[in-house]
Chains A and B, each alone.
Chain A
């Protein structure tokens, strides 16, 4: 991912109500939302929010209803004007822009997808998708072509002449997405885009969004109240409470190091099996080079007190495993290691725990974790997997530990 900043906001504040000047001064004195409401009658929608969003990133803003997330996202295209603060898109402060300049930004750089789809009921799917282009004054043939491509992208080919009310919720939101994509914006704002859909469709849409994103590399700002959704699709997550940003970080950082009690309470109900991966729970794997004989393997197993050991080649590519029994027989029959190899079950490091259970529980030899080139990275021990699930931090590797585990040298 490139490291350039696409969207940057600084101290963005929104105060709803008449007495905003007084509210601002109180806010700057550090008074709480509740006190300000009592003294001025103004509500703090968003309180001095600051963050940077990198190009090509899916940035999730998460919070419960009333936390100010929808207000915040609407300030990013100025559907709501911020009371204070700066909003830079590609280094230009859109708060200072004239109506004319703002329209240009909205037409060319930033598109939005809405929770309740917000399609025009009197227009066909194609005409809905064309809407943004029509507003820009693009001629009919060109916009029809771009809209059709966009519809194809979201899998709605053949529905061009239907009307929105003839489509299911999931399909309507695809139209919403296609309409936003037809403009070919750099930044996509998605306000609770999947929240109105039922759970299965929602999951499909999340997958599809990730799929689309892998080809498009748009900067996506996604609003949700659903932590599972945030963890599934977010490259980084900003957690909001009472109008303030409480924590910004990768899903892992938020889960593993909640910055305060609020975040901790928020994340405590997370189904860890859908968040933790094999990398998080794997242990250092012991392996023997295939060129060594069964005698060495047996000796190692004795020293380590284990009943089987992985066999790798010089490049650490996993070839299989030998059990102590097999090794003993091989010593007696004078067989080389590669003749007595047993197949092992392997998984990649980013496999979610939920997908591991079956393999881990049925494997006779511990499941091995390998990288794309089949090189041995670690192993999964049943006890550690269960411990991690129970939220036992000792069984969860931090990012640095993962790096270290992977450095394990082949024992000789």
Chain B
């Protein structure tokens, strides 16, 4: 068999392709790299500018307003613990990394999801790409990401975006297509334009589902922080990674605990955001 069909040189093709991309789009990649770095850095700067106790109170109030008392209490205690353990600054780095990745996911993912929900051909292209993005091991595209964007926070953001964007797109498609047929029919029967249909009917009705997708994206982005640390992104992930390589079980656990706290706070707040919208009241 092996002789009959010589091995396809897929690896060589990819190498050549990556080389070609790096040399051809160097300027573009540099631009993206700088842009992303500015975004993440300014987020970190803003977060760091706020004293930790004020930040904790702010987050607690947000949790109270958007979710409920219990989650507000958890936020208060959890963040205090993170501060107490000495992971405040790494946590801000992580928060900035996750937020930038999720914001990019939303900016790209929601419009793409809407487009795919309207046009079947787009959906047929997008869905397999999403499968690819989610199942391809992150390390595999982390390496070319270093080529394109150098070491640091940027390849971390890019890898997080690739890994976390699919649920936002998928659930946007699902949400828009789930709008009952008779409601879209009714909307059309009153002479609405495509834009009116989308803005007044489909998106509001799809919002809970889209929010669930964004919630999933946040969780996936958080799960990428350790991997992002491997390419040099600062944050809690870097602490975990260091602890693992130096076999510091206790420190690793502390950093891991801080990640869990951030994850639970973000998850509960965004989850309640989705269900609150659903009530429509």
Q: Report Cα–Cα, A51/B261, bound state, in Å.
A: 69
Helix, strand, loop or mixed for chain B's interface? helix
Q: Is B131 an interface residue (CB 8 A)?
A: no
Per-position contact with B for A73-86: 1 when CB-CB < 8 Å, else 0?
01001010000000
> Nearest Cβ in chain B — how far from A367, in angstroms?
48
Tell me the count of chain B residues lying within 8 A, CB to CB, of chain A: 19
**Within 8 Å of chain A (Cβ to Cβ): is B280?**
yes
Indicate which residue in B188, B193, B196, B205 contacts A120 across the interface (CB closer than 8 Å).
B205
- Which residues of B184-224 have CB atoms within 8 Å of chain A's CB atoms? 185-193, 196, 200-201, 204-205
Interface size on A, residues (CB 8 A): 30
Chain B residue with the shortest CB-CB distance to A103: B191
- B280's contact among A79, A105, A112, A121, by CB below 8 Å, is which? A121
- Interface flag for B51 (CB, 8 Å): no
Q: How far is the CA of A79 from the CA of B189 in the complex (A)?
A: 7
Q: Is B281 within 8 A of A115, CB to CB? A: no
Asked if A107 is at the interface (CB within 8 A of a chain B CB), the reply is yes
Give the interface centre of B180, B189, B193 by most chain A CB atoms within 10 Å.
B189
- Which one of A11-19, A129-137, A344-352 is at the interface? A129-137
A72: min CB distance to chain B, Å: 15
CB atoms of A107 and B191 under 8 A apart: yes
Shortest Cβ distance from B70 into chain A, in angstroms?
27
* Interchain Cβ contacts within 8 Å, total number: 63
A48 within 8 A of B: no
CB-nearest residue of chain A to B190? A132
**A183 adjacent to chain B (CB < 8 Å):** yes
Instruction: Check if A382 is an interface residue, CB within 8 A of chain B.
Output: no
* Minimum Cβ distance to chain B for residue A30 (Å): 33
B252 to chain A, nearest CB (A): 46
Known: A118-B180, A121-B280, A122-B204. A104 touches B186 (CB 8 A): no
- Distance in angstroms from B176 CB to nearest chain A CB is 14
Q: Cβ of A121 and Cβ of B205 under 8 Å apart? A: yes
| Docked complex Cα distance between A79 and B204 (Å) | 22
Neighbour of A116 across the interface among B182, B191, B196, B201, CB < 8 A: B182
Q: Given A120-B201, A122-B205, A183–B190 Cβ distance below 8 Å?
A: yes
Which residues of chain B are within 8 angstroms of A122 by Cβ–Cβ distance?
204-205, 280
**Contact between A114 and B182, CB atoms less than 8 A apart:** yes
* Residues of chain A from 113 to 158 with CB closer than 8 A to chain B in the complex: 114-116, 118-123, 131-132, 134-136
- Chain A nearest CB: distance from B159 CB in Å? 37
Interface status of B38 (Cβ within 8 A of chain A): no
Is B191 in contact with A79, judged by CB distance below 8 angstroms?
no
Chain A nearest CB from B227 CB (Å) reads 39
Does A289 have its Cβ within 8 Å of any Cβ on chain B?
A: no
Please judge, given known A-B contacts A135-B192, A183-B190, whether A118 and B182 are in contact too, CB under 8 Å: yes
Asked whether A106 is an interface residue with its Cβ less than 8 Å from the other chain, the reply is yes
Q: Which of A63-116 contact B (CB under 8 A)?
A: 74, 77, 79, 102-108, 110-112, 114-116
| Contact A106:B191 (CB < 8 A) given known A120-B205, A122-B205, A134-B200 | yes
B189 contacts A120, CB within 8 Å?
Answer: no
Residues of B within 8 A of A116 (CB): 180, 182
Known pairs A103-B191, A116-B180, A118-B183; list 18 more (Cβ under 8 Å). Answer: A102-B191, A103-B193, A105-B191, A106-B189, A106-B191, A108-B191, A114-B186, A118-B182, A119-B183, A120-B183, A120-B204, A135-B187, A135-B190, A135-B192, A135-B196, A136-B191, A163-B280, A183-B190
What are 17 residue pairs bridging A and B, where the CB atoms are less than 8 Å apart in the complex? A74-B185, A103-B192, A103-B193, A107-B190, A107-B191, A110-B189, A111-B189, A114-B185, A115-B182, A118-B182, A118-B185, A118-B186, A120-B201, A121-B205, A131-B187, A132-B190, A135-B191
